[in-house]
């Protein structure tokens, strides 16, 4: 038996009132893949990530995480979320907790990992990203880039099956973007499966295995970075990419 994809979406639809925000979304994400979601503001990227993380209820369609139907209304939301790592645009570290505690919290409280073990994992990860000396600091002492790197470390500390990143460099000063993207690149090299909404086209081209161009809630075009960035077939894709050149 072959292993199921890490994530599979079929016919996903989401409406807000009479506004169809996502329609007929089909997506397959295999182990170790990096998928870049691109598209104009309002095209549905964040809503799609929120649907996958069960922050929004689908109006139609199905989603599977490693073969488990997570769109079943009877699913345990907390159990599913524990299998998914998420980092948003705005730094979402807990301000009243140290960097170390931010990282260990889910591990000890959700997974019941002993504190010493969770801390050892956190310290090993902080060392890898060059932030071990910040372990005892509170988030407000860190730069935005450092905070996002801690948020990434926190998101992977519990070994999620997939990592969802929603424009994680959009709120950063330009000089801090690189250090965060470098860490995402490292996570990919480690084999992390990632679905990321991004406006960093060069990065998407460089790091992703699959690019999905969303236009008004539908997948207008999808393919390899070469296909999408070098020879897009749809006028909407060409128009969108033109803005970044
Ligand atoms: P993107 O992340 O690509 O900018 P979003 O997923 O944030 O797009 O938004 C897609 C559309 O859904 C937009 O028109 C937005 O206004 C609408 N939308 C998002 N969240 C809500 C909500 N909670 N209620 C109503 N409309 C929403
Ligand atoms: Mg968004």
In 3D space, the residue among 185, 161, 192 whose CA is nearest the CA of residue 33 turns out to be 192
Closest CA to 88 of 193, 196, 186: 196
| Interval between CA 198 and ligand 2 midpoint (Å) | 9
| Per-residue confidence (pLDDT) for residue 2, from 0 to 100 | 79
Q: In what order do the strands lie in the sheet with 19-29?
A: 19-29, 7-16, 60-65, 68-69
Strands 68-69 and 194-197: unpaired
Closest ligand 1 atom, residue 197 Cα: 2
Q: How far apart are CA 157 and CA 151, in angstroms?
A: 10
> Ligand 1 mean position to 167 CA, how many Å?
14
What's the CA dihedral at 188, 31, 167, 160 to 10 degrees?
Answer: -90
Q: What is the model's pLDDT at position 1?
A: 64
H helices present in 129-196, as ranges: 144-156, 174-189
Q: Is the pTM higher than 0.90?
A: yes
CA of 213 to the centre of ligand 2 (A): 13
Q: What is the pLDDT along the chain (245 residues), one digit of tens a residue?
A: 678 999 999 999 999 999 999 999 999 999 999 999 999 999 999 999 999 999 999 999 999 999 999 999 999 999 999 999 999 998 789 999 999 999 999 999 999 999 999 999 999 999 999 999 999 999 999 999 999 999 999 999 999 999 999 999 999 999 999 999 999 999 999 999 999 999 999 999 999 999 999 999 999 999 999 999 999 999 999 999 998 87
| pLDDT for position 195 | 98
**What is the CB neighbour count within 10 angstroms for residue 132?**
15
Indicate if ligand 1 lies below 6 Å from the C-beta of 188.
no
Which of 6-42 are b and which e, b meaning 16 or more Cβ less than 10 Å from the residue's Cβ? Answer: bbbbeebbbeeeeebbbbebebebeeebbbbbbbbee
Which ligand has an atom closest to residue 88 CA?
2
């Amino acid at each position: 038996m072959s292993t199921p994809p890490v994530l599979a979406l079929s016919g996903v639809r989401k409406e807000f009132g009479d506004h169809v925000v996502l329609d007929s979304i089909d997506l397959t994400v295999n182990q170790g893949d990096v998928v870049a979601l691109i598209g104009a503001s309002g095209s549905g990227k964040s809503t799609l990530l929120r649907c996958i993380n069960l922050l929004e209820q689908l109006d139609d369609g199905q989603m599977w995480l490693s073969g488990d139907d997570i769109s079943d209304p009877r699913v345990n939301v907390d159990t599913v979320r524990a299998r998914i790592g998420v980092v948003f645009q705005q730094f979402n570290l807990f301000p009243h907790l140290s960097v170390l505690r931010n990282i260990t919290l889910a591990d000890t409280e959700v997974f019941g990992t002993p504190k010493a073990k969770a801390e050892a994992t956190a310290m090993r990860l902080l060392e890898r990203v060059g932030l071990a000396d910040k372990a005892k600091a509170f988030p407000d002492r860190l730069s935005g880039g450092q905070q996002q790197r801690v948020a990434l470390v926190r998101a992977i500390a519990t070994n999620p099956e997939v990592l969802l990143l929603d424009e994680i460099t959009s709120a950063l000063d330009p000089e801090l973007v690189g250090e965060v993207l470098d860490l995402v690149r490292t996570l990919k090299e480690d084999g992390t499966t990632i679905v990321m909404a991004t406006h960093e086209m060069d990065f998407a081209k460089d790091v992703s295995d699959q690019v999905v161009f969303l236009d008004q809630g539908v997948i207008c075009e999808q393919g390899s970075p070469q296909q999408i960035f070098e020879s897009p077939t749809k006028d909407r894709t060409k128009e969108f990419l033109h803005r970044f050149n």
